[in-house]
Amino acid sequence: MEFLVNPNVERYINSLLKVDNVVEEMEEYAKGRGFPIIGRQGGYLLYLITKIKKPKLVVELGSGFGYSGYWFAKGITDGKVVMIDYLQENLDRAREFLGKAKLLDKVEMRVGDAVQIGREYKGIDILFLDLEKARYMEAVKSLEENLSEGGIIIADNVLFQGKVLNSKNDRKAKVLDSFNRYIHKHYDATILPVRDGLLIATKRL
Amino acid sequence: MEFLVNPNVERYINSLLKVDNVVEEMEEYAKGRGFPIIGRQGGYLLYLITKIKKPKLVVELGSGFGYSGYWFAKGITDGKVVMIDYLQENLDRAREFLGKAKLLDKVEMRVGDAVQIGREYKGIDILFLDLEKARYMEAVKSLEENLSEGGIIIADNVLFQGKVLNSKNDRKAKVLDSFNRYIHKHYDATILPVRDGLLIATKRL
């Protein structure tokens, strides 16, 4: 698929989004290594949802070097974000970046299997999925009982470069399509065409 | 501009969004008359934000026949949405539709100038702008002091079919571009490429 959102529109939206030096540095870091991040629009959206929700507990499955964690931490006033990644070196970078941004007091970092570690946390106000795409269904089924009342699920890459629209021959796209259908069946949800597709869902009233 | 979001992607997202008979009827009504509405994706987004925010008071400037008001009212658990439109006949339709959906107990309807009537309300938790585009700046400047702490502004049509990207020769697009810049300067905000562009902003922490 050529593109999800008109690139000129994305450019206009991004041109309005101001960030501090640490974010710029993180974006450079991602660009230089081809490390996939949620992007500035996605980051702002996480930040706004966090400000509106006022969560005590955010749990991230697949934190990478801390780009999304930065935005959650920035939005939290009284609570914490648990950042989980299977690579120690990713979280080492995250600790550097979030340290510079003076956000470490709102952050807990854990190395290991995201789903397994995530299950240790109950009363999750925002569950963020950005782990291996083939594990999205497993992740939500393992962790949905740990959501608080009114808990939110946010998942990145749910459009998967448009591959979910015709997922027959792509195993990951097939999992993501099933995930999207499962979430829309059991939650109040929508997908926002931000970067690679951001799903937002809340438990039913 | 050809399109803001890839139409196949919009179709995929919309196919996942289930609605009740009243919404289907409202969408038919809009289609039949070429009446612009926020659309199903936009509606779900208003609903989700309302569920997360739990507002006591939502004020809509430019309610039309009640499509957006339906989604706010559906998301409100303890509060009300004030629907304002300059045409009595629009609000008569809104009363019919929201009556069928059994949502009238969460709704107050007012006929007249949206900005002027809006100013009567203090402590607005969500201010929704969907009035004449040339009035967006006037509306936000007149009403921002009436927002509650942590108040949210949501505005529809802020991409204006892409015309804000090059607004020199279009007066309305110019106002919308100024509005977008004003909001991003003074609020935490982003624009979501949903239908014709939805801006979401919260007061700075």
Q: Is B50 on the interface with A (CB under 8 A)?
A: no
Q: Could you report the per-residue pLDDT of B57-90, keeping only the tens digit for each?
A: 999 999 999 999 999 999 999 999 999 999 999 9
Count of beta carbons in the 10 Å neighbourhood of residue B2: 6
Q: Please list, in sequence order, all residues whose beta carbon lies within 8 angstroms of the beta carbon of residue B21, skipping any fewer than 6 positions away.
A: none
Q: Tell me if chain A has a CB within 8 Å of the CB of B19.
A: no
Is B6 close to A10, i.e. CB distance below 8 A? no
Q: Which H helix or E strand runs over A32?
A: helix A21-33
Maximum CA extent, chain A: 45
Whether residues A51 and B188 touch (CB distance < 8 A) is answered with yes
Of B10, B152, B191, nearest to A13 by CB-CB distance is B191
Locate the chain A residue with the closest alpha carbon to B166.
A12
The pLDDT of A42-62, averaged and rounded, is 98
> What is the pLDDT, as a whole number, of residue A203?
92
What ipTM was assigned to the predicted interfaces of this complex? Answer: 0.96
Give me the mean pLDDT over the B46-60 stretch.
98
Per-residue pLDDT reduced to its tens digit, B99-118: 999 999 999 999 999 999 99
Looking at residue A167, its pLDDT comes to 87
Confidence tier at A2 by pLDDT (50, 70, 90): confident
Q: For residue A165, which of B194, B7, B41, B43 has the smallest C-alpha distance?
A: B7
Paired residues of B58 in beta bridges? B81, B126
d(CA A197, CA A38): 9
Q: Given CB atoms, is A6 within the 8 Å cutoff of chain B?
A: yes
Mean pLDDT score of chain A: 96
State whether residue B26 sits within 8 Å of chain A by CB: no
Percent of chain A with pLDDT over 70: 99
Query: What does the mean pLDDT of chain B come to?
Result: 96
Q: Is A194 on the interface with B (CB under 8 A)?
A: yes
Distance from CA of B94 to the nearest CA of A (A): 24
Round to whole Å and give the CA distance between A47 and B109: 33
Residue A3 confidence class, pLDDT cut points 50, 70, 90: confident
CB-CB under 8 Å, B6 with A162: yes
**Which pLDDT band holds residue B204 (cuts at 50, 70, 90)?**
confident
Confidence band, pLDDT 50/70/90 cuts, at residue B167: confident
A47/B contact by beta carbon, under 8 A: yes
CA angle at B118 for the pair B116 and B124, rounded to the nearest 5°? 155
pLDDT digits (tens, 9 = 90+) for A111-155: 999 999 999 999 999 999 999 999 999 999 999 999 999 999 999
Report the CATH fold assignment for A7-203: Rossmann fold (3.40.50)
CB contact under 8 A, A6 and B9: no
From chain B, pick out residues whose CB is under 8 angstroms from the CB of A18. 184
Interface size, chain A vs chain B, as Cβ–Cβ contacts under 8 Å: 125
pLDDT at B97 over 80: yes
pLDDT at B197 over 80: yes
Supply the DSSP symbol for B127. E
**Is the minimum CB–CB distance between B134 and chain A shorter than 8 Å?**
no
Is pLDDT at A205 greater than 80 in this prediction? no
H or E element in which residue B118 lies: helix B114-118
Distance in Å, alpha carbon of A97 to nearest chain B alpha carbon: 21
Interface check B169 vs A, CB under 8 A: no
- For residue A89, the model assigns a pLDDT of 97
pLDDT at A111: 98
Is residue B31 within 8 Å of residue B55, measured between CB atoms? no
Q: What is the pLDDT of residues A186-196, one digit of tens each?
A: 999 999 999 99
Q: Which of B9, B152, B190 sits opposite A45 (nearest CB)?
A: B190
Q: Check CB contact of B180 with chain A, cutoff 8 Å.
A: yes
Q: What is the least distance, in Å, from the CA of A9 to any CA of chain B?
A: 7
Q: Which of residues 61-90 of A touch B (CB under 8 A)?
A: 77
